Amino acid sequence: MSLIVTPNLRDPDAAYAALLAAHKGLGEAESNALNARLVLILMNHLGDGPAFGEALRLARDAG
Residue 36 belongs to a domain: yes
pTM score, two decimals? 0.80
Residue 12 belongs to a domain: no
pLDDT at 1 over 70: no
Residue 35 belongs to a domain: yes
Question: Is 7 in a helix, a strand, or coil?
Answer: coil
Residue 2 belongs to a domain: no
Phi and psi angles of residue 60, each rounded to the nearest 5 degrees, phi first: -70, -45
Cα gap 33→25, rounded to integer Å: 13
Residue 49 belongs to a domain: yes
Residue 5 belongs to a domain: no
CA 43 to chain centre: 9
Number of structural domains, the chain?
Answer: 1
Per-residue pLDDT reduced to its tens digit, 9-35: 999 999 999 999 999 999 999 999 999
| Host domain of residue 34 | 27-63
